[in-house]
Chains A and B, each alone.
Chain A
Amino acid sequence: MRKAGIILIAVLLLSVLSAGCVSNSGSSEKTTSATPKEITVNDLAGRSVTLKVPVQRAAILSTSALEIVQLLGAENQVVGIPAEAKADTFLSDKLKNKTIVGKRLKIDDWEKVLALKPDLMVNLYLKKFYDVDEFLSRSTSYGIPVIMLREDKLEDIPRAVELLGKVFGREDKAREFTSYFNEQVSEVKKIAEKIPTEKRKKVVMIQPIMGKYFVVNGNDVLAQAVRLVGAEYMANFTFKGYSPVRVPLDKEKIIAQFKDADVLILLTSAVTPYDKVEAIKNEMLNDEAWKGIKAVNEGNVYVLKAELDKDSFLRWSPRMAVGIWVVGKAIYPDYYPDWKDKANDFLKRFYSLS
């Protein structure tokens, strides 16, 4: 009996030791050598966050935030990523090979996160998609500060880059990007001002997913890009005070509500790649009912990429610096230059991609 007790204690001790080894295995990341200092910042959800910078071990749950980290050159300061990061072609293998801690926005296993000993978590403030309060209270109880980003507005993109530049200790790179971004916006604005009022086009964007049509709502960053390039965005849905960014509508409702649209833009997605959307576009152009929409009748239907591919710039992320040119060229081909050179320059300069 006594012998059995000794064996049991030995096994327990071994288990504890080996668990310690496993939990420490995630902490072998290289970190920057800068001396940490404590600062307080306001995140994009208006929360005041106190943390030690530069951050050394961040767990990040949004691909757009990871794209910013990549832009800042702070890959070594990340320890955890969401599963979706694997599909993001902007991200380097160095980032993609970090530990997956969950799916976009959500943690699968907090134990896995804690084993990584993060000194910061970055997530999106999207109360409709997950329990933000529960996420915050959990991370607070574990003593991990959280920075929340929002993917609502175009102007939030440089703000997010600046904020993350500050916490990752990469202010110079952040400044370089924000001045580039603001330059692109003001160039686009200048072109937009030249478009005469009578030539201003009415635009609507649709993302087909599994046979359903999701209309991009007026509060989405892509609708803001449409307005920025000098066009009128037609969709503006609010349901009891709530404005979703995508609204599912059936074919008849789309035709009835947007029959005056001059330009119809179809967007790709992770579910509906370019070829499929192109096929949908061809079906539309040959369908008498769809021709009830002016844009379809006149052949002004365009397919633009909005997924995580390298040549896809229509997502809330630094990509939108090129995305606004993509939108401009599609709506006003006579006013906006081809965006391919801009895209190449952007990819090379900020992501070392060609």
Chain B
Amino acid sequence: MRKGLILLLIFPVVAVFLGIFVGSYPTNPLHLDQLGKRIIWNIRLPRTLMGISAGMALGLGGMILQAVFRNPLVDTYILGVSSGVALGAALAVSFLPMAGIAPVALVFGLLAVFIAYSLARVNGRVSTVSLVLAGIIVTSLFSALLALLELLLSSESLSGLVVWLMGSLSNVSWRTVDYSLPGVVVLAILLYFLRFRLNVMSLGDEAELLGVNVPLWRGTFVFLSALLTVLVISSTGIIGWVGLIVPHTARMLVGPEHSKLILATISMGITVMVLADVIVRLLPGDIPVGIITTVVGVPFFAYLLRKTGGAWE
């Protein structure tokens, strides 16, 4: 157990070190030239910090929903967040170029979750099944609207949108990190303060016997989870599978108790995202990091599914 905790501490530190010192421009930490210093400060550091932000946000977002709905196979994308962000980005490209992509994507990402949650709420209660179904409805509707918009886009806009949606950290600047990282850190701290409430919520409807207002807290946690995700993907594009794999694996390592699970999820989220971005930097061209997380994530998740049968012990 102690060994596992030490590893969870070391992994993100190593990932961040690689994130800062690995790239196409040679940068020796012991002998940095002037350009190397500038590249680290202006490119790699914001990129790595965004990787930290994305890893934390997507991991914690998935962890919250998995706890609240007591299901290891859910993450924030089932709420329709990704289709909302995609529609927002397409609207920004086609009709609101001056508004910028990230703000419009953020608003539509949250709007999608709001609609899904409202649809799923029957008699003041939201079950996993109703939320998944509502998520499918919202995703389908927003995807259809996105397809309609795509028909109106020129070939250049369309290919630009498709590449953007694949998710990437390469276009990150200090300005992007400025609003994403502080937001994610504040929400992560808030979540840590709510860790016992999250433990209680993971008991399911039995939490009500302990005097918890389950519908209220369920709604609060769903909103928190969506906000974490949207804060990141509205500027990076869709980065898949991190929200499923990271909390699931962290739970396998430290168990379901949230005071440990939150820290383990943060540690693993940072490691996975920053390392995925380091891999991207070493590949030719500018391959979206969302492709790497999906290519690595899918077989890993398939393995977990086979091993656990989708059950949460």
Interface string of B135-156 (1 = CB under 8 A from A): 0000000000000000000111
Q: A104-B155, A210-B101, A247-B285 are in contact. Are A288 and B160 (CB under 8 A)?
A: no
CA distance A248 to B24 in the complex (A): 14
CA distance A288 to B39 in the complex (A): 8
Is the CB–CB distance between A256 and B156 below 8 Å?
Answer: no
Is the CB–CB distance between B284 and A212 below 8 Å?
Answer: no
Instruction: Give the residue name and chain of the B residue nearest to A87 (CB).
Output: B154
- The prevalent SS among residues of B at the interface is helix
Is the CB–CB distance between A251 and B24 below 8 Å?
Answer: no
Is the CB–CB distance between B164 and A210 below 8 Å?
Answer: yes
Is the CB–CB distance between B155 and A103 below 8 Å?
Answer: yes
Contact of A292 among B35, B155, B156 (CB under 8 A): B35
The verdict on B206 contacting chain A, using a C-beta distance below 8 Å, is no
List, in ascending order, chain B residues with CB within 8 A of A104's CB. 155
CB of A237, distance to nearest CB on chain B (Å) = 8
Q: A212-B286, A255-B25 are in contact. Are A289 and B160 (CB under 8 A)?
A: no
The verdict on A252 contacting chain B, using a C-beta distance below 8 Å, is yes
Not counting A212-B160, A250-B281, A289-B42, a sample of 9 additional A-B residue pairs whose C-beta atoms are within 8 angstroms of each other reads A211-B164, A212-B171, A247-B285, A249-B286, A250-B170, A250-B286, A252-B24, A252-B281, A288-B38
- Quick one: which of B79-106 are within 8 Å of A by CB? 93, 97, 101
Contact of B24 among A256, A270, A276 (CB under 8 A): A256
List, in ascending order, chain A residues with CB within 8 A of B286's CB. 212-213, 248-250, 253
CA distance A210 to B286 in the complex (A): 13
- The prevalent SS among residues of A at the interface is mixed
CB of A299, distance to nearest CB on chain B (Å) = 17
Interface string of B273-288 (1 = CB under 8 A from A): 0000000110011100
CA distance A253 to B157 in the complex (A): 24
Instruction: Give the residue name and chain of the A residue nearest to B165 (CB).
Output: A210
Is the CB–CB distance between B285 and A248 below 8 Å?
Answer: yes
> Max chain B CB contacts within 10 Å: which of A248, A250, A255?
A250
The verdict on B194 contacting chain A, using a C-beta distance below 8 Å, is no
- Quick one: which of B162-195 are within 8 Å of A by CB? 163-164, 168, 170-171
The verdict on A23 contacting chain B, using a C-beta distance below 8 Å, is no
CB of A308, distance to nearest CB on chain B (Å) = 9
Is the CB–CB distance between A289 and B41 below 8 Å?
Answer: yes
CB of B148, distance to nearest CB on chain A (Å) = 14
- Quick one: which of A181-239 are within 8 Å of B by CB? 209-213, 239
Interface set of B (CB-CB < 8 Å, partner A): 23-25, 35, 38-39, 41-44, 93, 97, 101, 154-157, 159-161, 163-164, 168, 170-171, 280-281, 284-286
CB of B280, distance to nearest CB on chain A (Å) = 8
CA distance A247 to B285 in the complex (A): 7
Is the CB–CB distance between A273 and B97 below 8 Å?
Answer: yes
Contact of B154 among A256, A270, A291 (CB under 8 A): A270
Instruction: Give the residue name and chain of the B residue nearest to A106 (CB).
Output: B155
Interface string of A92-111 (1 = CB under 8 A from B): 00000000000111000000
Q: A213-B286, A249-B285, A252-B25 are in contact. Are A292 and B154 (CB under 8 A)?
A: no
CA distance A250 to B157 in the complex (A): 19
CA distance A273 to B286 in the complex (A): 22
The verdict on A4 contacting chain B, using a C-beta distance below 8 Å, is no
Contact of B38 among A212, A257, A292 (CB under 8 A): A292
Q: A210-B164, A212-B171, A270-B156 are in contact. Are A252 and B43 (CB under 8 A)?
A: yes
CA distance A249 to B24 in the complex (A): 11
The verdict on A269 contacting chain B, using a C-beta distance below 8 Å, is yes
CA distance A256 to B282 in the complex (A): 13
CB of B74, distance to nearest CB on chain A (Å) = 30
Instruction: Give the residue name and chain of the A residue nearest to B44 (CB).
Output: A252
Is the CB–CB distance between A252 and B39 below 8 Å?
Answer: yes
The verdict on A260 contacting chain B, using a C-beta distance below 8 Å, is no
Is the CB–CB distance between A212 and B25 below 8 Å?
Answer: no
Q: A252-B44, A271-B160 are in contact. Are A212 and B168 (CB under 8 A)?
A: yes
The verdict on A155 contacting chain B, using a C-beta distance below 8 Å, is no
- Quick one: which of A275-315 are within 8 Å of B by CB? 276, 287-292
How many chain A residues touch B (CB < 8 A): the figure is: 33
CB of A215, distance to nearest CB on chain B (Å) = 10
The verdict on A84 contacting chain B, using a C-beta distance below 8 Å, is yes
Q: A271-B93, A288-B42 are in contact. Are A259 and B157 (CB under 8 A)?
A: no
CA distance A11 to B24 in the complex (A): 71
Is the CB–CB distance between B155 and A271 below 8 Å?
Answer: no
CA distance A316 to B266 in the complex (A): 50
Q: Pull 28 A–B residue pairs with CB atoms less than 8 Å apart, ordered by A.
A: A84-B154, A103-B155, A105-B155, A209-B159, A209-B160, A210-B160, A210-B163, A211-B101, A212-B160, A212-B168, A212-B170, A239-B285, A250-B43, A250-B170, A250-B171, A250-B280, A250-B281, A250-B286, A252-B23, A252-B25, A252-B281, A255-B25, A255-B35, A255-B39, A256-B24, A271-B154, A289-B38, A289-B39
- Quick one: which of A243-267 are within 8 Å of B by CB? 247-253, 255-257, 259
CA distance A274 to B269 in the complex (A): 39
Is the CB–CB distance between A291 and B93 below 8 Å?
Answer: no
CB of A165, distance to nearest CB on chain B (Å) = 27
List, in ascending order, chain B residues with CB within 8 A of A256's CB. 23-25
Is the CB–CB distance between B285 and A292 below 8 Å?
Answer: no
Instruction: Give the residue name and chain of the A residue nearest to B157 (CB).
Output: A271
CA distance A318 to B41 in the complex (A): 45
Instruction: Give the residue name and chain of the A residue nearest to B89 (CB).
Output: A210
Is the CB–CB distance between A239 and B284 below 8 Å?
Answer: yes
CB of B157, distance to nearest CB on chain A (Å) = 5
Contact of A291 among B38, B168, B280 (CB under 8 A): B38
CB of B194, distance to nearest CB on chain A (Å) = 34
> Max chain A CB contacts within 10 Å: which of B93, B155, B168?
B155
Is the CB–CB distance between B24 and A253 below 8 Å?
Answer: yes
CB of B158, distance to nearest CB on chain A (Å) = 9
Instruction: Give the residue name and chain of the A residue nearest to B26 (CB).
Output: A256
